[in-house]
Amino acid sequence: MNAEIGSPDPDRSLADLSFDQVAQPDELARAEALRRHSMLVKPPGSLGRLEELGAWIAACQGRPTPRPFTRARVIVFAGDHGVAARGVSANPPETTGELLGTVLAGGAAINVLASTAGATVRVVDIAVDTDGAESAVSEFKVRRGSGSIDREDALSDAEVHAALLAGRQIADAEVDGGADLLVAADLGVGGSTVASTLVAALTGAEPVAVIGRGSGVDDNGWMRKAAAVRDALRRARAVLSDPVALLRTSGGADVAAMAGFLAQAAVRRTPVLLDGLTVGAAALVAEELAPGARSWWVAAHRSSEPAHAMVLEHLDLEPLLDLDIRLGEGAGAAAALPLLFMSARLLAEVATREQAGVPDPEA
């Protein structure tokens, strides 16, 4: 990979990377929302997880009857990974830049899914290995690509600091701009190899247990991927106690930015719908950076990647969907967005038995 093209400030200190304490969602609002569900004109509990999801939204908003979402935003963090040169993906490294252009042109799966679900998409080039031709989305670009984590650090100290701060600034800008529901999404060849390494490091799993087919690698590609994760994991375990050092050693600029984004969204009390493996790995690190952040997240779906199941177990999150999606880009999260919209509106708009003149079955 080529050298950095951004200008991270080498004098940024670790203090810049600290996140404010995460407040927890309002449990009284959650309880009141569940009580309201028991009063609606339907059998209590008959809407299953939609009732739990609505109560979670109520807790995040701090009100028993949640407001319908009006500005859901999918943020696609794009970046290349040096480990892709090891043949760990079915796609060549230059595919990331091509896919970036497709998303910007509105022709990618995430564009269709998000539009159908009523969300808008923002693309941020954090570390795509191009010359920055797409300058409109390169405001937060840290560098071109990241180091090959099986042999070298992904980032320098200055770069990991810049990426984390970029994620925090992006979250602040979205919340300040009125976003009331956020989705973090990834785009980049080699991302599942990096994510699998982080998951193995943080959950104590062995390399062969976390390796999936990713972009659709064949058996030889799977073996190359397993070897890369094995070598990267040796380096990751040496810095396991420090989440920032872990991102510097074994992450990438896009993953670090996602971690900062997820942590800051929780600090700002804004619900987030998590996508698949790469976002899940960033979420594991974000929980280390801002303990308690997980309470502000819901898992959209269960990826077919084995490491993603470990993420869900570690964060104690039950996914909303299981559609065998492994694309990334926020596709699984976009597919689940309507469930959140429906869950909020059910609490706000379904009549109570009293309003409908329907007697209480227990009366």
**How far is residue 290 from each of residues 43, 165, 328, measured CA to CA in Å?**
39, 14, 24
178 — alpha (psi -120 to 50), left (phi > 0) or beta? left
Active site residue 329: yes
Rounded-to-integer distance, Cα 350 and Cα 36, Å: 10
SS3 273: strand
Please report which helix (H) or strand (E) contains residue 328, including its range: none
- Could you tell me which residues are beta bridge partners of residue 301? 321
- Could you tell me which residues are beta bridge partners of residue 184? 75, 274
Q: Per the residue annotation, which of 287, 329, 349, 362 is the catalytic one?
A: 329
Q: Which two tokens stand for residue 209?
A: 């247990």
Q: Which two tokens stand for residue 328?
A: 């990334």
End-to-end CA distance of the chain: 70
Rounded-to-integer distance, Cα 326 and Cα 160, Å: 27
Q: Which two tokens stand for residue 119?
A: 């969300």
Q: What is the largest CA-CA distance in the chain?
A: 72
Known catalytic residues?
329
